[in-house]
Chains A and B, each alone.
Chain A
Amino acid sequence: MIRVENVSKTFFVPHEVKALDDVSCSVKRGEVVVIIGPSGSGKSTLLRCLNRLEYADTGHIYIDGVDVLDPKTDINKLRAEVGMVFQSFNLFPHKTVLENITLAQLIVRKRAKKEAIEKAMFLLEKVGIPEKANVYPDQLSGGQQQRVAIARALAMDPKVMLFDEPTSALDPEMIGEVLDVMKALAQEGMTMVVVTHEMGFAREVADRVIFMDHGKIVEVGTPEHFFTNPEHERTKLFLSQIL
């Protein structure tokens, strides 16, 4: 489903940082991969390279056979197939919850309005807040906003969902409701790449865990492997700090 081959990415501003250093990995269809690692290790950059929000310097990325880094690739078409959920929700504040979920359906997927609204209501039902359809995002709690953001991404019928620390900006009591939605999604067989510090989620839902540090993938394995006998010293240190 996703294949990343020898991808590197260096930022030069404000100072030179090798955010991704020769990263290779792959994600199979229906698999849930959790990426963990200390802050600044390149997790977000890797995720953002997958839908070309960042353009990788070298290497290859394929999603469902499509060459992401090929300039001739219709990037908008590809992005519509790849849902993304951000740490800071990024809902459109000038649009209601319903409009947030229908906008891209209407102008990208070119669906009929009725169909788009039906889809939006179905998804709002699924994330548990159908009664909030006509309010504006700033009237919602953080957890509700993030669930709307997930519904917004799902409305495009993506083949893959990317989550970049979806619960890091939330108050502790709201983390559960968002994770529950993500677990349900995983159970339905959605292919997911999740950057998170929620080790409980990783243990319960992940098929594989990737540990990154300094722009490199240090260790890959099943959750059992990670939480019982991690190989590398860096991994052990990180897990001991976070658990």
Chain B
Amino acid sequence: MAERKVVKRRNRHYFLWIGVFWGVLALGIGLLYFSTLKIEYVWRWYRVPQYFLYKANIEIRADIDGDVVSIKPRSSGVIVKVKGPSDSAEYTVPDQSYLRVQEGDHVFPGDIIGTYSKWKPGLLLVGLYTTLKVSIIGIIFGIFIGLVAGLARISENPAFKWWSIVYIEIIRGSPLLVQIFIWYFVLGTLINTLLAKQGLQQLPPIYYGVASLAFFAGAYVAEIVRAGIQSIHRGQMEAARSLGMTYSQAMRYVILPQAFRRILPPLAGQFISLIKDSSLLGIIAIRELTKATREIVTTSLQPFELWFVCALLYLILTFGLSMLMQYLERRFIIT
């Protein structure tokens, strides 16, 4: 009875507080908007979409002096053959309608042979893609590193155990920004110089960026893995060993599959952190979402819109991911 009363009373105020919630939210946005008017900021949301997708004009220009001797349709487009006194060249125009020359025309270097426009991904979309790419590769390697380090951490072999502890403590005890600098300016310089000495190609910054993220995530994954394994009842290992399984067989077939189900949710949280942490990679010239936004802001001069959009894009990634995780958990973990 008493319980029912409490519920009823809560119900009466419930909608009031929902009203308060939306009211305060609207007030905050209103105040922000009002103050931007005060400093005469002009909102230009219509300028934002072009940074997602834009129509690029593509011009196919001649680079020799000569006559258009033939125009032949092919499956890949129209092949325009230009023949000059000393050399000849072929140009492919995707469609007949894009052509700006006819057979027999004379062209000079720089003349337009064909022109058309095409949708291209803008800087924001490119940045979003890079962010997603480095995060996914980072977490995949991070999980692998974390699994090895986590297993080493609970190993009875002191060498494995102490390496793992040292690794985890170093990574967790220093700022990611500093780790990125060390990867890029110290290890990167070392490796690239050594590669150059061997006459090999240097590695682009994104390699070092992904490495720093992977090793950073790995330390946290190691602790997640360790906690997950230790949460499995000790009787499981004993039962497996008493059947004659080796330690690694027991780990692989009995302990890890059970631990994995418990590890999955915190692992997803780590992945979400990694997506956000990847915003630091801009400082070593990787054009991820944050760096891309900064570049656009300097050219468009619309910082307010763009930073909000940037934040929103991160939010979509992280929120989408946690929804996906919840779905997967419901599907696979409750069995």
Query: A53: which of B242, B249, B261 is its contact (CB, 8 Å)?
Result: B242
Interface of B is mostly: helix
Interface string of A129-167 (1 = CB under 8 A from B): 000000010000000000001001100100000000000
Residues of A within 8 A of B276 (CB): none
B258 touches A93 (CB 8 A): yes
Interchain CB contact (< 8 A) of B243 among A80, A93, A94: A80
Query: Is A112 located at the chain interface by the 8 A CB criterion?
Result: no
Give the shortest distance, in Å, between A113 (CB) and chain B (any CB).
15
Cα separation A214 to B238 with both chains bound (whole Å): 25
- Which of these, A53, A83, A92, A149, contacts B241 with CB under 8 Å? A53
Q: Number of B residues whose C-beta is below 8 Å from A?
A: 19
Residue among A51, A86, A88, A92 making CB contact with B254, cutoff 8 Å? A92
Say yes or no: is B236 at the interface (Cβ < 8 Å to chain A).
yes
Which residues of A are found within 8 Å of B249, using beta-carbon distances?
107-108
Closest CB in chain A relative to B242 CB, distance in Å: 4
A17 and B238 CA atoms in complex are apart in Å by 22
B244 and A156 contacting across the interface, CB-CB below 8 Å: yes
CB under 8 Å from chain B, chain A span 56-115: 76-84, 86, 88, 90-94, 103-104, 107-109
Q: Which residues from B are CB-within-8-Å of A81?
A: 244
A213-B253 Cα distance, complex, nearest whole Å:
38
* Cβ B241 vs Cβ A79 within 8 A: yes
Question: Of B242, B261, B335, which one neighbours A82 at CB under 8 angstroms?
Answer: B242
| Pair B244/A86 contact, Cβ less than 8 Å | no
Are B244 and A90 neighbours in the complex by a CB distance under 8 Å?
Answer: no
Considering only residues 212-235 of chain B, those with a C-beta below 8 Å from chain A are 233, 235
Is B104 engaged at the interface, CB distance under 8 Å to the other chain? no
B245 on the A face (CB < 8 A): yes
Selected contact of A90 from candidates B239, B245, B257, CB within 8 Å: B239
* Cβ of B231 to closest chain A Cβ, rounded Å: 13
Give the CA-CA distance A94 to B257 in the complex, in Å.
Answer: 7
B246 at the interface (CB under 8 A from A): yes
The reply to whether B245 and A86 contact each other, CB–CB distance below 8 Å, is no
Query: B275-295: which have CB < 8 Å to A?
Result: none
Known: A94-B257, A94-B258. A104 touches B243 (CB 8 A): yes
Q: Which of A76, A91, A153 contacts B245 (CB 8 A)?
A: A76
Contact B243–A86 (Cβ < 8 Å): no
Selected from B233, B243, B257, B258, the residue in CB contact (under 8 A) with A108 is B243
Return chain B residues, CB-CB under 8 Å to A79. 241-244
- Assuming the contacts A103-B253, A107-B249, A107-B253, asked whether A90 and B243 have C-beta atoms less than 8 A apart, the reply is no
Q: Complex: how many Å from CA A107 to CA B245?
A: 8
User: From B254, which residue of chain A is reached at the shortest CB distance?
Assistant: A92
Residues of B within 8 A of A (CB): 233, 235-236, 238-246, 249, 253-254, 257-258, 261, 335
18 further A-B contacts with Cβ under 8 Å, apart from A77-B244, A86-B235, A107-B249, are A53-B238, A53-B242, A76-B241, A79-B243, A80-B244, A81-B244, A84-B242, A90-B235, A92-B240, A94-B257, A94-B258, A104-B240, A108-B244, A108-B249, A109-B244, A153-B242, A153-B243, A156-B243
A interface list, Cβ under 8 A from B: 51, 53, 76-84, 86, 88, 90-94, 103-104, 107-109, 136, 149, 152-153, 156
